[in-house]
Amino acid sequence: MTTKFATLNGLIDLATIETELTVIDVRLIANGLARLERWGRQTPLPYSVAQHSVMVAEQLPPAARIYGLLHDAHEFIIGDETWPVEVAKGELLFGAPGDEDSLTPYSRTLKIFKERLDTGIRLALGVPAPAMEIRALVHEADLRMAATEWGQLVPPVNGRCPVGAAPYPRVSGIKCWPWEKALDRYAQALERELATKSWKEAA
């Protein structure tokens, strides 16, 4: 068994990702997220994590935008596991109840692993950890964008949105980008934020 993850740029050792510089760069993240679909691939057209991340960032103040772009960056490695799947896995593995207020041991472990990957990604890009208030802003924007997506992209047969957040009324008529466009838009947005360094105000 190995902890070395194969990428277009070469191997990444997931055991040391948070302490050692890796081959992670903007295009590597963008490529992975642009090809990764949200909502369990159950939207009428493919809707990528890259597009979601760009749209989250667009709802944030300048100092928080890079963190909006990176909030799901770990998914280029581990994929986008939906909450129902995560809960079901936790119950199967540990027999513990899983809901929004009580994480299963599996969910807690996954959260720690995601944080480790996020630390390694920021290390590779030269971005510090966000302040708590920035984390809160990004989390709120993520939930509100999820509610917006549910209302516009998820088939109505699935009922009300399970995300307890209000959708963005100013975001309407979401059009799913082809993966090539999602890759370019995400990479351009991240490169722009790294160049302007407005994120330094949030460190």
Give the model confidence (pLDDT) of 154-177 as tens digits. Answer: 999 999 998 888 999 989 899 999
Residue 153 has φ and ψ, to the nearest 5°, of -115, -30
Domain with 52 in it = 24-81+127-202
Strand ranges, E, within 38-119:
none
Q: Would residue 141 count as lying in a domain?
A: yes
Distance in angstroms (rounded) separating the CA atoms of residues 189 and 26: 10
Distance in angstroms (rounded) separating the CA atoms of residues 198 and 203: 10
**pLDDT tens digit sequence for 48-91:** 999 999 999 999 999 999 999 999 999 999 999 888 888 888 77
If you average pLDDT over every residue of the chain, what do you get?
Answer: 91
pTM above 0.75, yes or no: yes
- What share of the chain in percent tops pLDDT 90? 74
Q: Determine how β-strand 4-7 pairs with β-strand 10-13.
A: antiparallel
CATH number assigned to the domain comprising residue 72: 1.10.3210.10
Domains contained in the chain, number: 1
Q: Would residue 68 count as lying in a domain?
A: yes
